[in-house]
Amino acid sequence: MPEPTVQGFESSSASASARWSAGSLGIGAALEAVLEGTLNRLGSRAGGVVVPAADGPGLVWAAQVNLPEVWRGLPEQADGPLGRALAGGLPDGPLAGQAPDLGVYHLTPVCAGRELLGLLCVLGGEPRPEERAWLAEAGRVLGRLLRAAQPEAGAPRATQEQAALSRIATALTSTLQLDEILTSTIDGIRQILNVEAASLLLLDEERGELIFKKTLGEDPDWIFQYSLQMDRGLVSTCVSAGRPLLVNNVDGDGRFFATVDAVTGFETRSVLCAPLIAHGQVLGAVEVINKRGGPFDLHDQDLMVSMTASVANAIHNARLFHQLTIANADLEASRWEVTRSRNTLRALFDGIPHPIYIVDQRYSLVALNRACAQIAAAGALPPPAAAERNPFAALVGQVCYQALYGRTEPCAGCRITETLFAGQSTSRTERRWAADDQMAEWEISTYPIADERGQTIQAVIFGQDVTEKRRLEASLAQSEKLAAVGQLAAGVAHEINNPLAAIIANTQLLQRELAADDERQESVSLIAMAGDRALQVVRNLLDFARQERYEFAPTDVNVTLQNALALASPLLRNPALTIRQDLSPDLPLLQASQDHLQGVWLNFILNARDALGEAGGEIQLSTRRQAGEVHVVVADTGMGIQPERLNRIFEPFYTTKQAGRGTGLGLYTCHRIVKQHGGQIRVDSQVGRGTVFTVILPLASTPAV
């Protein structure tokens, strides 16, 4: 067989009719689409189609994709590898080549029949055997497109094919609307192949076994749309095998199945169908029936294959775009849901009244709530100005102990390291000075946050002020103790009442029997006073047990103080002990319980005596009126009370005395009595210098009964 020759390549025999002018013919997009499909099939990134130039000797690129600069100028070299290949002719199929500056390449003849119209150049390695056959088919498809573009093919059919190719290329590149693309391309295929009808068949993506069929005739709109079962027929064979199928006489082919292959309203004589394949996946097929003017040939089949490749890519891209649109909508919905959840969690996070913050392995703040930001605002280091608008943003990223507590090193007792490196939850108690200069107790807990591999990367720190909780727990414990003491007091009072009544009765008999000037009368009177006091103590115990109401009456505070001193006088007979009194004579009467106040003064006096010890000292008793209050002061020059014990002296059962010398109920009872009178007790004590108890009783207020 004679080798194909290039028409008009040599300048001496140039034929303008065989030269390329892409601008005048407008099928460059179709050539480029076939070229891109070929490169994708071969896995190559660069290539081109070279043809004789229309305006002089030499070659030009009719289509190119990603060609390097060194290749773009090769067509101008008549003695280059492209010029020599076209001038000398090529054997059947691709021819490999290699040059130091060009790399590896292979050339495939682009032919129309026996006429060599150009070269398909693909950069890359040697094609495999199955790819060489596919390249030969691509060369024939490109040859038919080039032949249709030549001016001498000016017949009405050639002009019609060019216009149809132009419409297909425009549809493929100008819109992402799948229906517009399919309508234009299928109608273009119908016109190029000059057939009576063309059908598009798409596999059902969900069920896989059904095909949706759409048919175009002479009208610009689809004339038939329906679904059918893909079980037999020429189209089913084409889709199943993934290869084109050409049948010019359907009556003699047993694979023809009218329900699938025929088109309503047409007498089906011949069928040409090609599969729609994109990225190795069969999407469906394109079927044309009844070619006008003769049977289908291999050129028709090659052209059909090249055009369906573009259609398949368009369908695939449109589906990807649709999936992307859905994914974007889902992403937007997810983003909204995440935002809503984040806002909910942020509100919950900030609504917790206790400080919570999260740190990473470098102690940097990752997140913190409003209560935690308020700690920074009230701490030694004031937050930046930006924190006034957003108390969180300016603190994130800072070291926790610097931003929150104004420290230069981690807090004493901090257990964050245990959580970060051992993944363990921890809890500790810490004492801090509160804003009111009172000691507050905090519980600090840490919890690990792990990544997807289970490694701890962050820690949550939760702080809670448990001062009031501890007070309530202590109060509850004291209440339980007092309940037990109340039961004990009721029993003791009952047992003491009878012998005490006998003592008081016999004392009264002695007072009657002794003469008024008998020197023993004083001792008997003291016994009587002590008995009365003991009887009152018993009543107080019963009051304590029964929570009885106090009996308030106009009371002279000075008298109650004198009575208490008289009761305590037998216990104050120490030559080294001095009692000084400074009682204001103009004190008004108070609404008070005389016996209870008397018990308070007696308790203070005896405590002062115990504080002085055998070494003695001075006890000062004074009363004053100040504004609407009466101040009663009992002071001593004894050993004083240690500061750490001073806050606990009014707790029940707490005593600073030696074992067996104090019950811890004396000052508690005094505090309770003064509180019942609407007053308060102030204590000022210095170790080694003495203690001062000041009782403040209101004149006008109603007692708290």
Amino acid occupying residue 515: A
**Which has the higher per-residue pLDDT, 485 or 49?**
49
Among 91, 93, 119, CA closest to 35: 119
> 610 and 587 in one domain?
yes
> 624 and 483 in one domain?
no
3-state helix, strand, coil in the chain (%, to 5): 45, 25, 30
> 88 and 29 in one domain?
yes
> 312 and 270 in one domain?
yes
Q: Distance between CA atoms of 100 and 51, rounded to whole angstroms?
A: 24
Weakest-pLDDT range from 245-254, 505-514, 605-614, 696-705 = 696-705
Task: Return the DSSP state at 53.
Answer: B
Q: What CATH number has the domain bearing residue 451?
A: 3.30.450.20
Whether 159 is in a domain gets the answer no
> 387 and 444 in one domain?
yes
> 648 and 585 in one domain?
yes
Average pLDDT on 1-17 reads 32
pLDDT band at 559 (very low <50, low <70, confident <90, very high): very high
CB-based contacts of 86: which residues, under 8 Å, 6+ apart?
Answer: 6, 9, 50, 52, 59, 116, 118, 119
Whether 11 is in a domain gets the answer yes
pLDDT band at 392 (very low <50, low <70, confident <90, very high): low
Q: What CATH number has the domain bearing residue 631?
A: 3.30.565.10
Whether 166 is in a domain gets the answer no
> 477 and 532 in one domain?
yes
Task: Return the DSSP state at 89.
Answer: -
Domain closes at, from 546, 570, 600: 546
Asked if residues 238 and 275 have their Cβ atoms less than 8 Å apart, the reply is yes
Whether 160 is in a domain gets the answer no
Q: Give the total number of structural domains in the chain.
A: 5
pLDDT value at 131 more than 80: no
Domain, as residue range, for 501: 471-546
Weakest-pLDDT range from 172-181, 228-237, 296-305, 472-481 = 172-181
Whether 183 is in a domain gets the answer yes
Q: Distance between CA atoms of 297 and 272, rounded to whole angstroms?
A: 9
pLDDT tens string 420-463: 888 889 988 887 776 666 678 888 899 999 988 888 999 999 98
pLDDT value at 224 more than 80: no
Whether 328 is in a domain gets the answer no
Residue 518: both structure tokens together: 């008998």
**Other CB atoms closer than 10 Å to residue 419's CB: what's the count?**
22
Q: Distance between CA atoms of 477 and 471, rounded to whole angstroms?
A: 10
Q: What CATH number has the domain bearing residue 536?
A: 1.10.287.130
Domain closes at, from 439, 465, 491: 465
pLDDT band at 388 (very low <50, low <70, confident <90, very high): very low
Among 174, 180, 144, CA closest to 161: 144
Q: Distance between CA atoms of 665 and 668, rounded to whole angstroms?
A: 5
| HEC sequence for 235-252 | HHHHHHHCCCEEECCHHH
pLDDT value at 361 more than 70: yes
> 680 and 560 in one domain?
yes
Whether 162 is in a domain gets the answer no
Asked if residues 642 and 663 have their Cβ atoms less than 8 Å apart, the reply is no
The dihedrals phi and psi of 68, each to the nearest 5 degrees, come to -65, 160
pLDDT tens string 602-658: 989 988 888 888 888 899 999 999 888 999 999 999 888 888 888 878 876 677 776
> 654 and 576 in one domain?
yes
Whether 82 is in a domain gets the answer yes
pLDDT band at 680 (very low <50, low <70, confident <90, very high): very high
Among 51, 112, 54, 105, CA closest to 83: 51
Strands (E), 466-558: 553-555
CB-based contacts of 272: which residues, under 8 Å, 6+ apart?
Answer: 193, 195, 244, 245, 246, 247, 287, 288, 289, 291, 296, 300, 301, 304
Average pLDDT on 138-143 reads 80
Distances (CA, A) of 546 to 115, 118, 485, 558, 676: 126, 120, 11, 29, 15
> 440 and 541 in one domain?
no
> 295 and 226 in one domain?
yes
Average pLDDT on 182-202 reads 83
Burial of 267 (0-12, 13-18, 19+ CB in 10 A): exposed
pLDDT band at 91 (very low <50, low <70, confident <90, very high): low
Q: What CATH number has the domain bearing residue 309?
A: 3.30.450.40
Burial of 573 (0-12, 13-18, 19+ CB in 10 A): exposed
Domain closes at, from 120, 153, 186: 153
pLDDT tens string 271-318: 999 998 888 888 888 989 988 888 888 878 887 887 888 788 878 877
Angle at 490 between CA 485 and CA 495, to 5 degrees: 120
DSSP 3-state assignment of 533?
helix
Average pLDDT on 526-543 reads 75
Counting runs of H as helices and runs of E as strands, what totals does the chain give?
20, 24
Q: Distance between CA atoms of 326 and 329, rounded to whole angstroms?
A: 5
> 376 and 315 in one domain?
no
